[in-house]
Amino acid sequence: MSPNPAALPNPWATFEGHERVVVARDEATGTSMVIALHSTVLGPALGGVRMTPYAGSTEPGAAAYADALRLSRAMTYKNALAGLDHGGGKGVILGDPTAKSDDILHAFGRLVCSLDGAYVTAGDVGMTVADMDVIGDACRWTTGRSPERGGVGDSGILTSLGVFRGIQASVAETLDRESLDGVRVAVVGTGKVGGRLAAHLVEAGAEVIAFDPSLDARAALADTVPSVRFMDSLEDLLAAETDVLSPNALGGLITAEVGQATSARVICGGANNQLAEPAVADLLAARGIVFAPDFMVNCGGVIQVAEELVGGDLDKARARTEQVYATTRRVLQRAKAEGVTPVTAAEQEAEDRILRHRAAAEQVV
């Protein structure tokens, strides 16, 4: 494993605000990797590793680097808002996840180990529980492993619960409705998070319409929650009349065009980085659309894997995830009172906790 900063154009251009960024290449497999540590003020940085080829990018290495920076910053806010004693970090393995091997996963594990506990990894896009078991063979700072290997298993269970509670809170604040009876929710992506979310919503009385390009994902949900109505295309789903739009696939779905056209009054989902660009938050606010920041509501998974480090009490993790409802209402009320977007209010809420912790630590010293 060798440092490889020259692999990226001007790699330090967007480094500001991060404590450390490691760019490396495993010579044996020819695989490039990035780990970004945004903050360790609250504790060791905790965040998942994703594996993706960034096939649509003309500069995949630069895209991987930028993704790690953006996602690690979001993890700092996510962990702070969730009340965890962890800062934010993120790992990226540049490559096709269908071509992953034990050698690649072990190499990433060794890279995590080189940080000596400053970063704790977990699963993310392109990774499975079995993959985390393999990484764990090479690195003890690994979570999201199987129960057989001392882990808590699939973190999508609590991620979907947190998003569901975020939707409930957002609907209560925006539509003044304490119940989801008759509320129409458009779910984008029905995988391990979106599928479970759809089940929660239907059980709560919501009408759910959905889209997923995967026929397998659609068939699996149709078997378990037959009342969900699938649209023929993403465009059809986005054009449908709806109260809530819930992105649960990859990020960047909410462009300025989508923000201008959607009939939804609430946007709340499990996908990371849902806004295509920061200015979309202002556009949504100007239209009276409440955007519940993804890093505020999709924290159930990181709560679950954080619990893996201290005993694996899933009941405790579930109770903490339930607090997403109270956090969401508090942040949305703060946004309204201060005349800022929910994104700004959520970031301020997280930064307040980080500043309090830093001040307390300085007093002890």
Catalytic residue among 90, 192, 316, 336: 90
CB atoms within 10 A of CB 355: 11
DSSP reduced 3-state for 288: coil
Per the structure block, which two tokens stand in for 235?
């465009």
Q: Tabulate helix, strand, coil % of the chain (nearest 5).
A: 45, 15, 35
DSSP-assigned letters across all residues of 145-208: --GGGT----THHHHHHHHHHHHHHHHHHHH--S--TT-EEEEE--STTHHHHHHHHHHTT-EE
User: Which residues lie below 8 Å from residue 162, measured CB to CB, with a gap of 6+?
Assistant: 270, 297, 298, 299, 300, 301, 303, 321, 324
Pairing between strand 290-291 and 266-267? parallel
Contact between residue 132 and residue 144 where contact means Cβ atoms under 8 Å apart: yes
Contact between residue 310 and residue 93 where contact means Cβ atoms under 8 Å apart: no
- Alpha carbon distance 151, 135 (integer Å): 13
Clarify whether 90 is annotated catalytic.
yes
Question: Sheet of 20-26: strands edge to edge?
Answer: 2-3, 20-26, 31-39, 87-94, 45-52, 119-123
- Alpha carbon distance 122, 136 (integer Å): 10
Q: How many CA atoms lie within 13 A of 306 on its CB side?
A: 28
Q: For residue 221, which amino acid is it?
A: L
Catalytic residue numbers read 90
